[in-house]
Amino acid sequence: MITVEFRERDPNSEGRRVVATLTVADDRTYTVAGALPLEEISILDRAAPGGRLTLAADPVRWARKSHKAFRAGYIVPVITEDTLPADVES
């Protein structure tokens, strides 16, 4: 299982708050909770068809590469759990 928390700066504190969570199960099904439209966000990936990786196409790779979609720093993806083997990326 892979769990990724998407965090934004909390204007009322020095820390960040979770605005969305992605959970990818061992069978590669996934759930999205929160306010971000993660299924609409693609990641540049030369190995993916058309050079774009979508969550629906490969949830495991998308979760592990999600930091590439959020480079500006407003939203920060943090992998809080990853129990899938490294070779289960595609």
Number of residues that make up the chain: 90
Give the pTM: 0.88
pLDDT at residue 49, as a whole number: 87
All residues at 6 or more sequence positions from 12 whose CB lies less than 8 Å from its CB, including other chains: none
H-type helices in 1-90, by residue range?
59-65
pLDDT at residue 90, as a whole number: 45
Contact 76, 7 (CB under 8 A): yes
pLDDT at residue 79, as a whole number: 96
Instruction: Tell me what percent of the residues of the chain surpass a pLDDT of 90.
Output: 69
Give 41-61 pLDDT, tens digit per residue.
999 998 888 999 999 999 999
pLDDT at residue 87, as a whole number: 67
Instruction: Tell me what percent of the residues of the chain surpass a pLDDT of 70.
Output: 96
pLDDT < 50 positions in the chain: 89-90
